[in-house]
Amino acid sequence: MNAPFYKFGFFSFDVSLIVAFVIGIGFGFMLERGGFGNARILAAQFYFTNMRVLKVMFTAIVTAMIGIFYLSLIGWVDLSLVYLSDTYIVPQVIGGLILGFGFVIGGYCPGTSFVSLATGRYDGLVFALGVVAGIFVFGELFPYISDFFYSTPMGKVRLNEWLGVSYGMIVLAVVLMALGAFAAAEWGEKVMAKKNGGVIE
């Protein structure tokens, strides 16, 4: 067995779209079941009162990273064929800060806003409409900001290559980072719970 399946011709482009759609629906369902369609839960992480988002997402990242690492070691996944988008460091950092600012204000990222919308929440609808409006405005302004958008190019960069270390070292570092983050999250929740009279939101 060799993966990525699409790159090895196991199914066509049309089938890949169907697969992506099914995976997306499943991912959205899991997000909703995890409470990620609720802006109060999502925003609570920024106040250290409920760190569920950090715990769940970090667990998912570490699980996927370890899985891909070991599947590549046994030859089931060809990492050279895993898609990477190009890195444009300055515009992407600024874009991330803008997204994070919106996340703090609204309680949603683009993905979770549509999860919220699917469950019938009005705030999810407002945020999703904002996402669509933002995409439209960006598309209209793109000819004027394209030079900035493509500035500071780094190409397709993997973190281990950029740092000059093995992929395994990056996996270990991320696992240790996750364990530290989990411990810090638990500590932060307990501190905030004491301030809130023993209640974790």
pLDDT at 189: 86
The token duo for 12 is 């066509």
d(CA 146, CA 117): 31
pLDDT at 102: 87
d(CA 194, CA 191): 5
* Any domain includes 51: yes
* Any domain includes 162: no
* Any domain includes 143: yes
Which residues share a beta bridge with 155? 87
91 close to 149: Cβ distance less than 8 angstroms? yes
> Nearest CA to 187 among 174, 200, 176?
200
Is the same domain home to 70 and 90? no
For the chain, give the percent of residues with pLDDT over 70. 97
Is the same domain home to 16 and 69? yes
* Any domain includes 135: yes
Is the same domain home to 69 and 1? yes
Is the same domain home to 97 and 126? yes
Q: How confident is the model at residue 96 (pLDDT cuts 50, 70, 90)?
A: very high
Q: What angle do CA 115, 30, 46 make, to 5 degrees?
A: 65
Rounded to the nearest 10 degrees, what angle do helices 89-106 and 122-149 cross at?
160
Is the same domain home to 102 and 127? yes
pLDDT at 1: 55
Q: How confident is the model at residue 199 (pLDDT cuts 50, 70, 90)?
A: low
Is the same domain home to 121 and 64? no
Is the same domain home to 62 and 7? yes
Q: How confident is the model at residue 8 (pLDDT cuts 50, 70, 90)?
A: confident
Is the same domain home to 32 and 94? no
Is the same domain home to 2 and 68? yes
Could you give the number of structural domains in the chain? Answer: 2
* Any domain includes 166: no
**Rounded to whole angstroms, what are the CA distances from 166 to 54, 106, 155, 158, 179?**
26, 39, 19, 11, 20
pLDDT at 25: 92
Is the same domain home to 65 and 44? yes
Q: What pTM, to 2 d.p., does this model score? A: 0.77
d(CA 53, CA 114): 16
pLDDT at 7: 75
d(CA 70, CA 20): 23
Segment 123-182, tens digit of pLDDT: 999 999 999 999 999 999 999 999 999 999 999 988 888 899 998 999 999 999 999 999
Is the same domain home to 120 and 178? no
Residue owning tokens 């500071």? 152
Task: Show the DSSP H helices in the chain as ranges.
Answer: 13-33, 39-44, 52-73, 89-106, 110-118, 122-149, 159-163, 167-195
The token duo for 132 is 């669509």
* Any domain includes 163: no
> Nearest CA to 97 among 162, 35, 105, 55?
105
* Any domain includes 7: yes
Is the same domain home to 142 and 118? yes
The token duo for 142 is 């793109």
Q: Across all residues in the chain, what is the average pLDDT?
A: 88
Mean of the pLDDT values across residues 83-111? 91
Mean of the pLDDT values across residues 55-74? 90
Residue-range definition of the domain harbouring residue 58: 1-77+171-201
* Any domain includes 165: no
Segment 172-184, tens digit of pLDDT: 999 999 999 999 9
